[in-house]
Amino acid sequence: MLFSKSVLFTLATLLVDSVLSQPGDISAVAPDDSKVVKISDADEFDQFVKDNDLFLAEFFAPWCGHCKRLGPEYVKAAETLSDLNIPLVQLDCEANQEFCRDLNIPGYPTLKIYKNGFSKDYLGARTNDSIVNTMIKHSLPVVNLFNSTESVKEFIRDSTLPVIVNSDLQLNQTFHDVADQLFDDFVFISLPLKNVSSEKTSGRLELYLADAKENFKPFVFEAKQDAEDLQSELVSWIKTQSIPFFGDINGETFQQYMESQLPLAYFFYTSQEEREKYVKDFVSLATKYRGQINFVGLDSTKFGRHAENVNIKQQFPAFVIHNLTSNFKYALPQLAEEEFLALKKPYTIKSKDIIKHVEQFLKGSLEPTIKSEPEPTEQEANVFKLVATTHEKIVNDPKKDVLVKYYAPWCGHCKRLAPVYEELADVYAFDKSANKKVLIAEVDATANDIASVDIEGFPTIILYPAGKNSEPVTYSGSRTLESFLEFIHENGGNDVDGKGIYEKYQEAKELEQEQEDDEDETEKTDVHDEL
């Protein structure tokens, strides 16, 4: 699945915040008294592969910061898994560089699962729970056969992953193929209908969520009769229904929510105690609007900077809904900054306000929260400064050809283009007639939401030709003054000859320079005469 640049930036922010929130002053090498097996060389490793049916290997470097952050989690997982005879091992790639090259180790740490002599990359979270769950799952069959409802319920209670139970629904090989595909994120159980202690008389497939297992109310799969691809339909259903009613979002879970493409409602909380106060209300909302909107918690002490990505101030708690399709954000109103800072008691959000906000969003009656710089009271240069609130009005002016540069302040290419772009604006401003027909503008795309434009990179340059039904034209030529002048002439609606204006502009500049030189010479002569 492809994501827009803005969504990828959001994901990157969460991933970076997640990394920065971890401790750093820890050794990457497991302690001698831990259960982690330290392998010294290639021969010992090859022998270990032969002697063990299943184990997890970490390929690391002692200086690697990510390896140090993984260290404590890896040691904890090794302790837990040692009771199940599932070893966790370490191999120092600094001491075994040639061997690690032979294994195509791309970076540190690289985790690989070895099972029956074959290896696959470990793609789960680098946490104790995730490592333990993944390795236990790999020790089990892809589909687990149970003989009683009671044993299934007991398993579901203890599982930290969603559980899918097939009670004789005639999926045949499809169920096993789906289990192979989703093995790392779900537990698949087969429970023969003859062993089901209930009034069920026909086969069914049920999904039990990890955060809703106490009431044992599953989601039931109902295949469409005209489904051409049952496996794809089942995979899609599982991924949609397995999203928690109210789970936390971070760098590891973000993609799951992105793939659903449903609006994402964020609750920024300041502590676990505060989060707990709202869980019941969010689970209730998520149950009521299942399949329409997803609800997530976000720890503001770790991911507070994400507030900027959803157009809200860092005033927490906070609630905002992000429409992933339109990229619009709808925030519960916040306080003025001075009002928030003057609060004598912790700020709170009323549940009834959250509920009302969700209802209004689903009805389509909310206005999006647009990130925009203030509209300039006056334009200080010939390059017209746009902001989000003025963008559509200016670019859709039917009387003007409007060229817009969408830039980022930190962008090196944008900085190099700036002098050329400023001169381009000066050229059209020089001619009174052209000044009314062509506008050279720019907007800081990091400080302003421009929903109508998909920014693929910086700078993005687009011409909005004059005329009521004209279509925007993206510029892809060389970033020279002559190329811009030609582009506007060929694609604009007003047929302004920029090159002709540029010649007159150059003549005027040369004349002005000559006059300045004459004035300087006169001043020098006057000084000489005085001496």
User: Residues with catalytic annotation?
Assistant: 64, 67, 411, 414
Nearest by Cα to 234 from 160, 180, 312: 180
CB–CB of 291/339 below 8 Å? no
Q: Residue 339 carries which side chain, given as an amino acid letter?
A: E
Contacts of 280 (CB under 8 A, 6+ apart): none
Count CB neighbours of 365 within 10 A: 8
Q: Which residues of 417-450 are buried (b: 16+ CB within 10 A; e: fewer)?
A: beeebebbbbbbbbbeebbebbbbbbbbbbebbb
CB–CB of 474/462 below 8 Å? yes
Bridge partners of 295, per DSSP, are 246, 265
Quote the CA–CA distance of 491 and 152 in Å, as a whole number: 67
CB-neighbour burial class of residue 155 (10 A; exposed 0-12, middle 13-18, buried 19+): middle
CB–CB of 128/76 below 8 Å? yes
CB–CB of 366/406 below 8 Å? no
Quote the CA–CA distance of 56 and 139 in Å, as a whole number: 11
Distance set, CA 148 to CA 100, 195, 219, 396 (Å):
47, 5, 20, 67
CB–CB of 366/320 below 8 Å? no
CB–CB of 440/383 below 8 Å? yes
Contacts of 485 (CB under 8 A, 6+ apart): 424, 427, 498, 499, 502
Q: Looking at 265-363, list the stretches that DSSP marks H as alpha helix, in order from N- to C-terminal side.
A: 272-288, 300-303, 306-309, 337-341, 351-363
Dihedral sign of CA atoms 111, 115, 117, 118 in order: negative
Distance set, CA 295 to CA 165, 257, 495 (Å):
25, 10, 52
Quote the CA–CA distance of 509 and 507 in Å, as a whole number: 5
> Residue 344 belongs to what H/E stretch?
none
